[in-house]
Structure 1
Amino acid sequence: MQGYFRDATQTEAAFKAGWFATGDLVRQDADGYYVFVARKKDVMRRKGENVSGAELDRIFGEHPAVEEAAAIGVPAELGEEEIMLAVQLRKGQTVNPATLVAWAKDRLAAHKLPRFVVLVDAIPHTPTHKPAKHKLKADTTLLARAVDLAGGAATR
């Protein structure tokens, strides 16, 4: 890649010591192949810790009632972010948000548990079928509809 079309600033920011930095996080499997894990930008900062959105998506997606989950950062009252989890349930399933988060307590560190949970009809997707978290962040109704597990319904 030579650069971003007519965007010298973005091009300069994307190159490090002559190498294009994709922003992708990968792991190497036992056979030596690299496997895509998540985008570097899909990391939230909560209580002084980095939290991987992809990890939360995977863990909550393992719940038997959940079709798909997508974690995003929302502004916290005192800086950094709180975690909001958008959840699409499987057909015919129901789940209480507090029960869902309690289910995850043995699977995640306490600082990774979402404060807000919102049930959605569908998680939007990118053309590569990844959760379109930018669309979730742009939906100003989500936080208002979310259950605030630190004190009832969200009021922001």
Structure 2
Amino acid sequence: MLSIKNHKDFWAGLMFLVVGIAFAWGATNYSFGSSARPGPGYFPFGLGLLLAVLGAVEVLKALAIDTGDDNAIGAFAWRPLLTVTGAVLIFGFTLPTLGMAIALPLLVIVSSFAGDEFNWKEVIADAAILTIGSWAVFDWGLNLVIPIWPTFLGQ
């Protein structure tokens, strides 16, 4: 009978396997196109399959290779989970009205409270770099229609 020899790797691999299958399955609702002209389902399907294969390899490795210790999973880290989830929800709800210039730094600041170490200078620098980089990539580089400034400023 198979026994789990590395619990952390087993559960991480199982998570990757399930998420990969879910993404690949969800991508089947979109047109695949061809290799020369890929459709909207082509890339997520491939990534989903790749993630599922990597997860399956990790699960098999956790079942087959004894690392010497159990690598048991400890207590569930609720604070980081809820903090980061809350930060993403705040970002999603505030982006349309507050724009990227406020919503993205708010995301970085709120999610930084999930960790044990907090330094305002680092958080502000991270928020500024991420906001400028996101503006450069999504607005300037890709020309996506994402609100940059709050709507109350009347662009």
> Normalized per residue, which structure has more helix?
2
More strand by share: 1
Identify which of structures 1 and 2 has the higher relative contact order when contacts are C-alpha pairs closer than 8 Å and 6+ apart.
2
TM-score bin, normalised by smaller chain: under 0.3
User: So what's the TM-score if we normalise by structure 2?
Assistant: 0.24
Larger-Rg structure:
2
